[in-house]
Amino acid sequence: RYEVSHDDFSMATRQKAAEILTLDLKEALPDIFMLNTNLIPRLVDRVWRKACDDALAENEGIYAHKGGTIVHIYFYELPFHTGKAKVSGIRDKIAPLLQQAKKDDSILEYRVEKGSPSGQQKGPPPVNPDVAKFLKEGLGINPTAEVFRLWTSRVKKEMEVGAQTSPLTRDMRDVAAKADVSYAPWWRPANEMLIGSIGCVWGQVPALECTPVEIFRQDLAVLFAACLELEKMQAKVHMALIVVPVRMATLANNEALDLYLNLLRRLNPEIRKNLIIEVKNLPKDTVLTHLVIATNSLSELVRAFVFETGMLSYADYGRSFAKLHACGFDLSESRLDENEQTRLLKKYAAYYSNLGLKTYIKGVTNPRILDAAMQAGFAYISGILIKPQQKSYFPLQKLPLEDIKRG
């Protein structure tokens, strides 16, 4: 059922040669092949295929047999060492299965699926072109839900067996490298310090063509890139904060959320304490219970979390999110004139201050808005007026107000 042609197997595993596994039937049945023949008896041919199909039914993959006694196997999701153990299990299963089949070969028959013509076995599944591209190139832009599921499963397994120096796997680093990630400044006016950066990723897919899964990929890309930046900081023995945005839709996806939690739990505590999660695109009405639980779970693993609410939002999120640190908005999304922006930002700061929350503002481009934000009591300010975005993190540094206004 999971057997494909040799050509299809080659296409699906192109540039994955190091991850292809080999099953040698001579090792599984040495007595049958003791005369050094490559001729496979008909019953044995059915037995080894049944053993492979049973294993691949548990862990998705494909296999191919071009002739002789060598079978090539590839698992979509399993790391190489785990797959190698699976192949050993297949090999060990063949001899006992052959003995059972000699007594009753009905054990080799496949169950006919409901709706299939009577007696018709399920044929080899075609190689999904999206999956084949993923296996060849890694997770690309605008992935399908199936590809994203395979990728997250593979990454989590890689983390389980990977090196202990960093939980960031090769797949994670690849996604971060492919994304157009940059960093905006995170300035604290109270002590005139540039205390860190806000990560952001520029969309590589037109909005109307963007799949929901692409949103998950973009959010994860910023997280991976930020963790790599923090690893660089740690090596230089100086740290700064990085704010990592994540949309609420991403936290609502079980596979993406599980990956967030798995990675953050494995991160060096010195790195985690410099991460702030910024939750974006909050629902206009009540936040669902499972999303409250998901967000609060993340808050246990990072320095703090903040909400980007929009300038016109007035909600008491602190009731559901006890560890919420601050609420803020991006001024660049507003089309109002400067006077109206000034009035609304003061109203926003006063509202959330009364709830005991800090506030932040992004997208500040001129000195008048900067002065208004400081007078209103915003704890954190970002925008090109502070410093233009750049491709790497902003280290912790003194940045006086006079220097900002001088440009």
pLDDT in tens, the chain (407 residues): 678 877 778 877 776 777 889 999 888 888 777 655 667 788 888 888 889 988 888 888 889 888 788 899 988 878 888 888 899 999 999 989 988 888 887 776 654 343 433 344 444 455 567 777 776 777 888 888 888 988 888 888 788 776 567 889 888 999 999 888 999 999 999 999 999 999 998 766 776 677 889 999 999 999 999 999 999 888 876 789 999 999 988 998 889 999 999 999 999 998 999 999 999 988 776 667 777 888 888 888 999 999 999 999 888 887 788 789 999 999 999 989 999 999 999 999 999 999 999 999 999 999 999 999 999 999 999 999 999 999 999 999 999 999 998 87
Q: Is the dihedral of CA 15, 137, 258, 265 positive or negative?
A: positive
Instruction: For residue 63, count CB atoms less than 10 angstroms from its CB and return exposed for 0-12, middle for 13-18, buried for 19 or more.
Output: buried
Which of 267, 265, 221 shows the shortest CA–CA distance to 244? Answer: 221
In 17-60, the DSSP E strands lie at 21-24
Burial 174-190 (b: 16+ CB within 10 A, else e): bbbebbebbbbbbbbbe
Q: What pLDDT was estimated at residue 318?
A: 75
Distance CA(34)–CA(189), nearest Å, equals: 80
Q: What pLDDT was estimated at residue 207?
A: 65
Q: What pLDDT was estimated at residue 120?
A: 42
Q: What pLDDT was estimated at residue 121?
A: 43
Q: What pLDDT was estimated at residue 114?
A: 39
Q: What pLDDT was estimated at residue 36?
A: 57
Distance CA(53)–CA(111), nearest Å, equals: 12
Q: What pLDDT was estimated at residue 111?
A: 44
* pTM higher than 0.75: no
Q: What pLDDT was estimated at residue 104?
A: 81
Phi, psi of 65 (to 5 degrees): -135, 110
Distance CA(243)–CA(361), nearest Å, equals: 13
Place of tokens 């540094």: 397
Distance CA(95)–CA(32), nearest Å, equals: 10
Q: What is the DSSP letter of 268?
A: -
Distance CA(27)–CA(24), nearest Å, equals: 6
The number of angstroms, rounded, from the C-alpha of 7 to the middle of its chain's C-alpha atoms is 31
Please report which residue ranges of 170-211 form alpha helices under DSSP H.
Answer: 170-178
Q: What pLDDT was estimated at residue 124?
A: 47
Distance CA(62)–CA(51), nearest Å, equals: 13
Distance CA(284)–CA(287), nearest Å, equals: 8
Q: What pLDDT was estimated at residue 374?
A: 97
Q: What pLDDT was estimated at residue 286?
A: 66
